[in-house]
């Protein structure tokens, strides 16, 4: 800001010039003043002057009253049982989109419908070639009903019709374009917080679009604070929050779109993300035109979005590759099937764990039999460890142990098979639970909402690193999951014989115990439904392990191993071929030496 340094030369010259003009004007008035008239005439002159002033004043008032009243926007609400939309006649702007069956996370009384555009947080503008914009128009209502609205300014007409049931509506703009070209859509919104876990909501909020060429659905990265991208031709564009989406679908799609997101920060905990997009329609207008849009404002519910047959359901990110395929093709159908029986969601998750565990039980049983064989071989393994105790003899020790496993028909990798098979399922669940709106607001035991963390202890003090990576709370299901995982790790180590050096085993044990603690940090802010699932999975694994242990007799297994050892070794066909090749090579070498 500039500081005042006093009066400069230009100001002094201006003041002197104004003073000279005033003196000159006063002298001129004195020289040209009219002669003084009698008092009566002076009075008449004064009265006439007053009348002239009144006439002038009246003329001024007449001019003001002749100007038409300024435009006063009107708001009109359309509604069905699920969705209520409010539009303003100023630019046909949507000022509210309230979902009757949903509420914000802190509205425990469920009084107010969840409004995704509360406080005029959205700008949606259609811009024609030549610069004409829908947002600048002053419309009048020329027709309306409970679910339809027609606006017009004489040149442009906007027709809006809400579906009888559901969350979709049509938005059609008709008019006459002065220039030829492709219209643009300018769309921005300040997405407000709807969930308890703001960090998770920001992570799962992003732009989503469907490519026109192959129908693939792409997601703009949601983790970063500032992302931008220019798309190829697309069919539709969605501003997706964690559990709710706004989708714009022009009849002929978009030729391209420049999209960007900006995360909210700690200073504004109610702002999830800033969305902004400038998209060019894949439609050329010239003269009379019609721009039809289908729009969706509603929940990210997989089966509901799938009914539109437009690929909207792919906006729900269940992961890539095999993880997403398992989520959409296995987990979602099982979940919806159980939900159809009216079970509580805590019970549904329990039944899902049982179904998966029973399906994998043959592999689990084979794994435990392999581990039992290794357990009964532990005394012999201990003898081998003592025999080859030095570091230089590690190779001989490993060869002796592997030879022992081969004789007994045991495999050290046998216990890994169920884990490897379960990994895709575990990752599918890792993506399924945070994306499942069905769990939103559903309680179980002490967890008031299975879609977010179940904090039993919380604090407001910001602790370095802890608050950033762990959060200012402690989730009980996460704590139970961690404790059960550590217990499961301890039990497995007791059942598995030591095959490496003592130092290696100590390092391995430390790593095995640290991993559950690392997962506790990662999952503490994740949905309690997910950590409840992992906790149940551990408990049922314990139960299965106990049951198998009761049915598997170590003495019987050892007797079978000894009987197998006593049998004559029968070579496989592959081993026989290898031995025959070796004999032939030896014979050829002998013949060459004799020549």
Helices marked H in 107-180 — which ranges? none
Higher pLDDT, 576 or 129: 129
Domains and CATH numbers, the chain: 75-311 (2.70.98.90), 328-563 (no CATH)
Can you give the pLDDT at residue 57? 36
Structure tokens at 437: 């709106």
Model confidence at 3: pLDDT above 70:
no
Among positive and negative, which fits the CA dihedral 309, 293, 208, 116? negative
Model confidence at 7: pLDDT above 50:
no
Band of residue 199 on the pLDDT scale cut at 50, 70, 90 = confident
Can you give the pLDDT at residue 360? 84
Can you give the pLDDT at residue 501? 53
Can you give the pLDDT at residue 496? 58
Q: What is the mean pLDDT of residues 410-436?
A: 79
Higher pLDDT, 588 or 75: 75
Can you give the pLDDT at residue 260? 92
Can you give the pLDDT at residue 363? 80
CA dist., res. 209 & res. 279, Å (int)? 12
CA dist., res. 109 & res. 579, Å (int)? 80
Model confidence at 420: pLDDT above 90:
no
Helix (H, G, I), strand (E, B) or coil at 127: strand
Angle at 22 (CA atoms; ends 18, 23), nearest 5 degrees:
120
HEC sequence for 420-472 = HHHHHHHHHHHHHHHHCHHHCCCCECCECCCCCCCEEEECCCCCCCHHHHHCC
Model confidence at 14: pLDDT above 50:
no
Can you give the pLDDT at residue 550? 74
- With a pLDDT cut of 70, the percent of the chain lying above it is 75
Structure tokens at 121: 């947080």
Helices marked H in 253-377 — which ranges? 302-306, 321-326, 332-339, 345-359, 361-376
The tens digit of pLDDT for each residue in 276-323 reads: 999 999 999 998 999 999 999 999 999 999 999 999 999 998 888 888
CA dist., res. 37 & res. 544, Å (int)? 124
Higher pLDDT, 55 or 295: 295
Model confidence at 69: pLDDT above 90:
no
Model confidence at 129: pLDDT above 70:
yes
The tens digit of pLDDT for each residue in 346-369 reads: 999 999 999 998 988 888 777 777
CA dist., res. 288 & res. 364, Å (int)? 69
Can you give the pLDDT at residue 495? 60
Band of residue 16 on the pLDDT scale cut at 50, 70, 90 = very low
Band of residue 114 on the pLDDT scale cut at 50, 70, 90 = very high
Can you give the pLDDT at residue 148? 95
Higher pLDDT, 1 or 404: 404
Higher pLDDT, 155 or 544: 155
CB 408 within 8 A of CB 564: yes
Name the pTM for this structure.
0.74
Band of residue 175 on the pLDDT scale cut at 50, 70, 90 = very high
Higher pLDDT, 422 or 168: 168
Q: What is the mean pLDDT of residues 470-492?
A: 85
Model confidence at 560: pLDDT above 50:
yes
Q: Nearest CA to 351 among 417, 342, 363, 302?
A: 342
Can you give the pLDDT at residue 314? 92
Model confidence at 81: pLDDT above 60:
yes
Identify the weakest region by mean pLDDT among 56-70, 146-160, 180-194, 217-231: 56-70
On average, the pLDDT of the chain sits at 80
Q: What is the mean pLDDT of residues 513-530?
A: 86
Q: What is the mean pLDDT of residues 414-428?
A: 77
Helix (H) or strand (E) holding 523: helix 502-523
Beta bridge partners, 144, equal 149
CB proximity list for 257: less than 8 A, separation 6 or greater: 209, 230, 231, 234, 237, 277, 278, 279, 280
DSSP secondary structure, 406-418, as one string: HHHT--TTTTHHH
Higher pLDDT, 498 or 127: 127
Band of residue 543 on the pLDDT scale cut at 50, 70, 90 = confident
Band of residue 559 on the pLDDT scale cut at 50, 70, 90 = confident
Model confidence at 94: pLDDT above 90:
yes
């Amino acid at each position: 800001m500039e500081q005042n340094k006093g009066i400069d030369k230009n100001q002094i010259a201006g003041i002197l010039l104004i003073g000279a003009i005033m003196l000159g004007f006063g002298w001129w008035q004195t020289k040209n003043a009219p002669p003084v008239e009698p008092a009566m005439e002076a009075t008449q002159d004064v009265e006439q002057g007053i009348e002239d002033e009144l006439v002038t004043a009246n003329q001024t008032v007449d001019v003001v009253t002749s100007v038409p009243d300024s435009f006063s926007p009107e708001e009109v609400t359309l509604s069905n049982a699920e969705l209520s939309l409010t539009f303003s006649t100023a630019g046909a702007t949507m000022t509210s989109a309230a979902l009757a069956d949903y509420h914000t996370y802190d509205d425990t009384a469920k009084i107010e419908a969840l409004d995704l555009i509360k406080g005029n947080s959205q700008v949606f503008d259609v811009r024609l070639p030549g610069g004409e914009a829908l947002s600048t128009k002053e419309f009048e209502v020329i027709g309306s009903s409970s679910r339809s609205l027609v606006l017009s300014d004489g040149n442009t007409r906007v027709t809006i019709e809400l579906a009888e049931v559901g969350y979709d509506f049509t938005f059609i703009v008709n008019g006459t374009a002065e220039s030829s070209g492709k219209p643009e859509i300018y769309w921005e919104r300040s997405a407000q917080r709807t969930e308890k876990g703001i960090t998770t909501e920001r992570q799962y909020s992003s732009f989503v679009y469907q490519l026109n060429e192959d129908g693939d659905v792409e997601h703009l990265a949601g983790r970063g604070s500032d992302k931008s991208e220019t798309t190829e031709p697309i069919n539709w564009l969605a501003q997706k929050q964690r559990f709710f989406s706004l989708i714009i679908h022009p009849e002929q799609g978009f030729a391209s779109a420049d999209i960007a997101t900006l995360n909210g920060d700690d200073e504004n905990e109610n702002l999830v993300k800033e969305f902004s997009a400038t998209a060019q329609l894949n439609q050329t207008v010239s003269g009379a035109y019609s721009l039809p849009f289908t729009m969706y404002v509603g929940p990210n519910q997989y089966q509901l979005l799938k009914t539109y047959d437009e690929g909207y359901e792919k906006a729900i990110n269940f992961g890539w590759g095999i993880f997403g395929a398992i989520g959409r093709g296995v987990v979602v159908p099982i979940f919806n099937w159980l939900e159809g029986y009216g079970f509580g969601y805590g019970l549904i998750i329990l039944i899902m764990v049982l179904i998966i565990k029973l399906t994998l039980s043959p592999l689990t049983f084979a794994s435990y039999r392999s581990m039992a064989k290794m357990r009964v071989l532990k005394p012999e393994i201990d003898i081998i460890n003592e025999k080859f105790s030095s570091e230089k003899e590690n190779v001989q020790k490993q060869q002796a142990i592997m030879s022992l496993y081969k004789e007994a028909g045991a495999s050290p990798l046998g216990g890994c098979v169920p884990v490897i098979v379960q990994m895709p399922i575990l990752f599918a669940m890792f993506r399924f639970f945070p994306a499942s709106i069905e769990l939103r607001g559903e309680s179980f035991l002490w967890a008031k909402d299975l879609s977010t963390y179940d904090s039993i202890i919380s604090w407001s003090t910001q602790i370095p690193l802890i608050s950033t990576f762990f959060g200012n709370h402690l989730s009980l299901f996460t704590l139970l999951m961690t404790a059960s995982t550590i217990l499961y790790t301890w039990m497995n180590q007791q059942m598995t014989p030591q095959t490496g050096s003592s130092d290696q085993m100590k390092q391995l044990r430390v790593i095995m115990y640290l991993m559950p603690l690392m997962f506790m940090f990662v999952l503490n802010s994740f949905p309690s439904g997910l950590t409840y699932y992992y906790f149940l999975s551990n408990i049922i694994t314990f139960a299965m392990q106990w049951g198998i242990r009761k049915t598997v007799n170590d003495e019987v297994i050892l007797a079978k191993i000894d009987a197998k050892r006593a049998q004559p070794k029968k070579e496989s066909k592959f081993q026989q071929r290898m031995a025959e090749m070796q004999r032939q090579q030896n014979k050829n070498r002998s013949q060459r030496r004799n020549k």
